[in-house]
Amino acid sequence: MTVLEVTRESTDDQIRAAVTAWVEANVPRSWRDAASAGRDAIRRVRPRTDYEDWYPTFADSGLAVATWPREYLGLDLTPDQARVAEAVLAPYNLGRLNPLGLNSAAPALFAHGTEEQRRRFLPPLVRNDEKWCQLLSEPGAGSDLASLAMRAVRDGDEWVLNGQKVWTTWAHFSDFAVCLARTDPTVKKRQGLTYFAVDLHAAGVEVRPLKHIGGEVDFNEVFLDDVRVPDEWRIGAAGDGWRVAGSSLAGERQMVSGVGSGGVDRIGGAGVDRLIQRARELGRTNDPVMRQRLLAVYAEERVRSWTNQRVRATVQAGGTPGPAASIGKVQQGTLNQRIQLLAADLLGAGATAWEGDMPFEVSGMLRSRANTIEGGTTEVNKNILGERVLGLPREPDPWADTPWEEIPRS
């Protein structure tokens, strides 16, 4: 295990030298050679399983979460120092694994967890030894998450959880989940909630995959039937779960909008640069209308990336993105859909019929439809922006002051 010997006192040159030496000693030769030829070349020589097997070497170096404290596998660097390290790593495309662990569970543990919880959960999360997902949405509670019905009842030093979650991304290969459950139905809906870390291998957990139209599985239904969770895995105070879950949701919004620490640039489809390259290959760059459409998404993509950089800088400087993360989420969701529709348009009739595998332009276009739903819908994020950024009157909620158990449900 090679931990980088850099500190907050290190100069930028010392950091560059240490990261370069680490890359030469630890990144396999064939991956380094492919790096000069771009991301597609790296993908060809680096199957996903090889990357997963190697990944703990990266995590142990401290570089995967360079601004985190050393006890949780970080390097305790400043955001500016981390950017210097990241610039050296960029050509090797070392994407972070366990994105929901990094962007949903970790923010809640940092903001509301105990020191024991952070020491227990964060190192294996960073190494991708324990994968995480989030048990939030339910069949009757998506946008109005606070109306959820999963129950958690205290029993000595444990809680007993019962209920159903849905749309749980990656639960079929996860080890843990953050989970929001109702611990007091007699108070207002946002007050009676508590946040837990749940072991998905515990007795009583059943994960049922939901298949996409093409047969692949991303998300699941998850049933909890008398699942016992130790009180020491409660994150934050009992009854304070709505506030704790807010840290996860803001982190997820950042991830989906491209500013999270999971290395996610966009969810679904190819980037604008690749689109322009495809337009050249297909001889479409002389078409003035196509040129104009490409230029429009290129310009918007630049603006999006600057907005994201601003949010990322705030977060790395120790601030919270808060409602600002909703700006990136709204912009990224709709922009990526336009980019992927344009990609499919480039193919013309080829986007409706093909031989062999589905073209990446079509799969990207289909996947991007979820961008305006996952991590909170565009409409709901616009409500958040209206209320918390623009200061408009709150959306009326006739049940806001009613105890949860008295609110009518179907």
- Residues involved in catalysis: 252
The pair of structure tokens assigned to 355 is: 């031989």
Residue 188: strand pairing partners = 403
Nearer to ligand FAD, 280 or 382 (CB): 382
Q: With respect to ligand FAD, which residue has the nearer C-beta, 136 or 244?
A: 136
- What's the min distance (Å) between Cβ of 262 and ligand FAD? 13
In the complex, the smallest distance separating the C-beta of residue 337 from ligand FAD, rounded to whole angstroms, is 13
Nearest distance from residue 169's CB to ligand FAD, in Å? 3
Report the distance separating Cα 114 and Cα 118, nearest Å.
Answer: 6
Positions of E strands within 79-230 = 132-135, 151-155, 158-165, 176-182, 193-199, 205-211, 217-230
Task: Tell me how far, at minimum, the Cβ of 208 lies from ligand FAD, in Å.
Answer: 14
Does the CA dihedral 82-85-87-93 come out positive or negative? Answer: negative
Contact in structure between 105 and 179 (CB atoms under 8 Å): no
User: Can you tell me whether residue 148 is helix, strand or coil?
Assistant: coil
The Cα–Cα gap between 111 and 241 comes to 12
**Nearer of residues 10 and 368 to ligand FAD, judged by Cβ:** 368
| Site of interaction with ligand FAD (CB under 6 A) | 133-134, 136-137, 142-143, 167-169, 219, 370, 373-374, 376-377, 379-380, 383, 395
What residues are paired with 193 via a beta bridge? 182
Output 154 or 208, the one with its CB closest to ligand FAD: 208
CA 237 from centre of chain: 24
